[in-house]
Structure 1
């Protein structure tokens, strides 16, 4: 993948303002965009600083701060280019990008002694000049851009940008893209992740009302459900008891079972499927006794005759007592 890289010092404000001052934990890498213009005429765009930070975080590793951009100029020649520190985090402050730096003891001492006063970021940008990835930074003493950060005045005879083969395999892998994805696709993936992140934050701060139920309402609904379930069970039990009693009484009247065996058959019907089994059993049982009419008799009448028997006695011109004696 071919893209363009550049280094620039963006500051007139020193890292340590006076001798003996400690090296700062946070330093500025880029001023607020979108347009970044150098004194020598070079310019870039920082349209989406959050995308730059997202690309740094997707890499999953700190990036080096060296001396005079040694990683870019000396290391490719096999020369020593030690680290002065490491960028471990980035954040946006009023549109500018700031970085947390973990300095080596040597670099911290040099900054405190004002041997190095400015910081210059090294970054990649598209051919259109859009900054999309920070790959490092260097301690320098010749700032080139006017802003609250550090910059480096390049050799005026050197080209403003250089074509560089950049390996973005790790970044593509972290974004779920193919290794050969274009810069445009990488930026689109970063923007998509940003959108998903914003959506997730919004959902966490303001959950959808249809998914949110106050605890008091939830407890009340559960209590109502439990009450309704209890009442339904009672109704079902009462109905089942009525059906069992009716079936047993029908069997008694039909002479299929003895009245004294009611409780026995009621217990059998109470188990799961017992009523249906009882009905099937009664259908196959023979009549074991003449159906009794005792349950139809009126105990309040001396004769104890049933309505049908009283009707017969009346048609025969007999009193109920006389008719009862003839039975």
Structure 2
């Protein structure tokens, strides 16, 4: 929400001797020598606002000029020179309780120091902004003057000065805001085209997730993201402390790895023996013959045992190679002997009235 600010000059008497600090705007309620402000009940500088103004002034990287009779503001219109009477050093602003906004680091030019010493210049006149309620908002400019009345600086010049100040300040705020939005887009993993409204919506989602997972409701002037992080740490501690470790259920890693290796070696040895037995059986029943063929199957068994097993099962057995030579000789000899006539044959011969001798002589 924008606030309408007014610009004013006010004057304070300078001491002939240079003090340790210059009082730029006094603390509390005050008015100008001519009774102003006429558009507010008074001017008022609170300690809280004074400290904020000082903090903003100390962010300046250059010194603030003190001129004569606000010539710097007039020079914007007339183009006439605006020589400095002194300088308020950057970083030298401070708020003194009970006194107001001061400068402890300032210098006068030799010419201005002579004017002050001889009382040719007697008043210090700040230009500041204030609200409609009279609350001082910011210090813009300081000058030496001998006519401590607002009439010496036309209202139009004050308005122009205020407009220039707020235009510069607005540009700085816009640049700062864009940097902040860029940081938020990066943190939330949003595209560069994400608008402020989209960033806000994503932040609301994040707040909801934080509350669901940690029980912490992130809100202004209440719990922050750091509270959520602390809650996460507490959850981790609780989880670790509630889990009791049973040493009997665990073994050293070296022991586990040794057991795995032994189991793997035993399994490999078992498979090797199985293939050796299959190949030996195939050699015995005639499925495998020839040293070259047997060696090829043994090599295949090392890398592809399932293939070898399937192949051996599909090979035909050779009957002639399944018997010993002595067994073959005995079978040939037995084939030449006269087979014995069993009891059934004798019974059949009796029914037919044929003797065994006749059957042998004349044939069945």
TM-score (norm 1): 0.49
Which has more helix, going by share of residues? 2
TM-score of the superposed pair, with normalisation by structure 2: 0.44
